[in-house]
Amino acid sequence: MVGAYVAATVVALVQYLRLKDRRVLLLVALFAFQAQALAREWFDFWKDVFQTASCAAALVLLLALTLHRPPSGAGSARPAPGESDPQGPAGGSVA
Q: What is the pTM of this model?
A: 0.67
First to last CA, the chain: 67
Can you tell me the mean pLDDT for 14-36? 93
Question: Alpha helices of 1-95 — where are they, by DSSP H?
Answer: 2-19, 23-39, 45-67
Dihedral sign of CA atoms 38, 39, 43, 45 in order: negative
Can you tell me the mean pLDDT for 40-53? 95
**pLDDT at residue 26, rounded to an integer:** 93
| Nearest alpha-carbon partner for 29 in 46, 51, 2, 48 | 51
Q: Over 80: is that where the pLDDT of 73 sits?
A: no
**pLDDT at residue 1, rounded to an integer:** 84
**pLDDT at residue 68, rounded to an integer:** 76
Can you tell me the mean pLDDT for 33-56? 95
Other CB atoms within a 10 A radius of the CB of residue 8 amount to 17
